[in-house]
Amino acid sequence: MNDWTGPDHFYALHRHGFVRVASSTPHVRPADVGFNRDAILAEARRAHEAGVDLVVYPELCVSSYAIDDLHMQTALLDAVEEAIAAVVEASRDLSPVLLIGAPLRHEGRLYNCAVVVARGAILGVVPKSFLPNYREYYEKRWFAHGRNIRGQTIRLAGRDAPFGSDLLFEAADLPGFVFHVEICEDYWATIPPSSEAALAGAVILTNLSASNIVIGKADDRHMLCRAQSARAFAAYAYSAAGPGESTTDLAWDGQGAIYELGDLMAESERFSLEPGLCIADIDTQRILNERLRTGTFADAAEHARRSGAVFRRVTFDHQPHVQDKGLIRKIRRFPYVPNRASHLDQDCYEAFNIQVEGLRRRFEATSGTTMVIGVSGGLDSTHALIVAAKVCDRLNIPRSTILGFTMPGFATGETTKSNAWKLMRALGITAAEIDIRPAARQMLADMGHPFAEGKPQYDITFENVQAGLRTDYLFRLANQRNGFVIGTGDLSELALGWCTYGVGDQMSHYAVNAGVPKTLIQYLIRWAVRSNQFDPETDAVLEAILGTTISPELIPADDEAGMQSTEDKIGPYELHDFFLFHIMRYGLPPSKVAFLAWHAWRDVNAGLWPHEFPDSLKKQYDLATIRKWMEAFLWRFFTTSQFKRSALPNGPKVSAGGSLSPRGDWRAPSDSVATVWLEELRRSVPEA
């Protein structure tokens, strides 16, 4: 196996487990085999220039599909075999594996087949398993089904090739490039052949289809592709016949679609008069990692083997180019943030109400009568407070049930303190202020800290005395007033360990924000404003809070009145949330996450931003910056912070990206090290 792990190959998509897949809709003419052959080769050459690894053509594209009894004509079938031989010969200098549809004779029967062609060879031939014979379909008039064809060979283009419905195709020199072929009606079947193929190891499932178009059928195809890719933990590439097929009684739209784990990666323009080639880079490593961490998939695979599902693997040398060919794939800059404009309100509604419901149930289950929360005027406490306010509304109890405390310290700014008061008043909660500075001075003096003698020593002790006192006050206030403390710390802070352990902001009675990263909190607050969850006075305060610098406000401003900035010290949360999602959710190696981050963040004008994301907040990062902050993330996440997460209070899981609860998605030793991840990053990612 080639060693592509060094920095020289960093920019190559193949090095990171991607396979470039295309769905092709070439021009065809009914029964014009020569024309169709040339059209297939034209698209193959176009795919070659685009660096495609696998091209899926429509069903029976060599002969065309809608020719009825002409399929039984010897002259046509002879021409089909000659055309296939020409395609095989022309493929010698082409990089993609070609999946072409053709009617083929075998032992006195005619089969609707997919021919797998690569670099001058026929890797195998797959017959259609399920033949539609209802409504407008009449395939059993011409074809025999291939469900029982297993372990056979077929003579085609002067050579013998594996023939059967039991074939998987695997590239020996490109890990994860393992594909299966089914044909049209096969994936409309109750149990598609690709289900067993996926359980046998196929990562990319393909479908050569004709499929005439009627109203609503395009949605049905999308539904089937999406469902099969999600249920089979696979990619699914689909290609349907297009304009050029006979319209004697039917019409054709040329729909192509590529899905991965239920996500639409690419789709073609329908009803186009031009040949279609929709391309997507499939993340086979992500697929395999998802199978690895889902025990149900392994159980189903074991059951399938016991039931007698056996596949032959046809291994071939693909000769991947391992070059920088870009990345044809939508990458979300903010993987935790809803990015579908059509579903924005629904996604934000669900996220917000998961938190509301979690807190409501916990409050209802306790014997307390109040909710106690520290309100700083920052993002996290703001979001926790508006969630608590909605809990009161849902329970039909007064918002004065919430006891909000602003607790200014040595570095509390007037802006954040003012915003905290404005928000508490706007929401109508019970509000008070406790100045923690006298108690902090006393504690620092008792400890003999230089600050007590007037020296500007702003170390971690100085910070944590303040953070700890705030939480200490909140717990004692909850004791005094028959309540419980609402935690405000978020998922991003837990990932980085950016919280004071024990009697500090790491601890609470219920950590309502623990499943929500910083980037999502910002967006949920914006959604709360946009969707009129509260009154205009509250909305105005929320907008002001969104515009302030993220800061713990524990160190006094410098000589130029610069506020302590969390992101200046630990890095941009938007990058850290990106790293966290891909490492925690899919277990991807750091070099690959850096590769994805570089493609997502290198150009502020490229790609899609979340709907209505403010232009003023849009940023871009070069690879050196990404590498720098990923190194910081890996060290904090794997080495220094797990002990805080191991003692995490209860809190609701919100995102499919996962939570860091030791009782849920993330269970890790508190005394681990980051050596493996840091070495992989330093070994594989260029420094500049």
The runs of H, that is alpha helices, within 448-517 are 460-480, 491-496
Yes or no: say if 505 and 566 are a contact pair by the CB < 8 Å rule: no
225 is catalytic: no
326 Cβ partners below 8 Å, 6+ apart?
13
Enter the DSSP assignment of 685. S
DSSP 3-state of 596 = helix
217 is catalytic: no
Choosing from 113, 184, 392, 499, the catalytic residue is 184
Match 């014979």 to its residue by tokens: 133
Choosing from 59, 185, 267, 290, the catalytic residue is 59
| Alpha carbon distance 568, 571 (integer Å) | 6
DSSP 3-state of 25 = strand
Least Cα distance to 260 among 278, 291, 292, 284 occurs for 284
DSSP 3-state of 97 = strand
Q: What angle do CA 109, 115, 118 make, to 5 degrees?
A: 150
Q: Is 438 exposed, middle or buried (0-12, 13-18, 19+ CB in 10 A)?
A: exposed
350 is catalytic: no
Yes or no: say if 371 and 431 are a contact pair by the CB < 8 Å rule: no
Least Cα distance to 499 among 420, 596, 381 occurs for 381
- Strands of 173-255 (E only): list them: 178-183, 204-208, 235-239
210 Cβ partners below 8 Å, 6+ apart?
58, 59, 60, 65, 66, 184, 240, 241, 245, 252
Least Cα distance to 257 among 284, 283, 229, 233 occurs for 229
27 Cβ partners below 8 Å, 6+ apart?
35, 36, 39, 244, 275
Enter the DSSP assignment of 636. I
Yes or no: say if 147 and 192 are a contact pair by the CB < 8 Å rule: no
Enter the DSSP assignment of 665. T
- The count of residues in the chain is 688
The runs of H, that is alpha helices, within 490-535 are 491-496, 518-530
Choosing from 81, 113, 128, 245, the catalytic residue is 128
DSSP 3-state of 674 = coil
482-501 burial: b if 16+ Cβ within 10 Å, else e: ebbbbbbbbbbbbbbbbbbb
DSSP structure string for 98-118: EEEEEEEEETTEEEEEEEEEE
Which phi and psi (to 5°) does residue 109 adopt?
Answer: -130, 160
| Alpha carbon distance 470, 446 (integer Å) | 18
Distances (CA, A) of 259 to 203, 227, 346, 382, 642: 12, 9, 22, 38, 35
DSSP structure string for 133-166: -STT--GGGT----TT--SEEEEETTEEEEESS-
| Alpha carbon distance 324, 333 (integer Å) | 21
What's the CA dihedral at 648, 649, 651, 657 to 10 degrees?
A: 0
Yes or no: say if 648 and 511 are a contact pair by the CB < 8 Å rule: yes
Catalytic machinery residues:
59, 128, 184
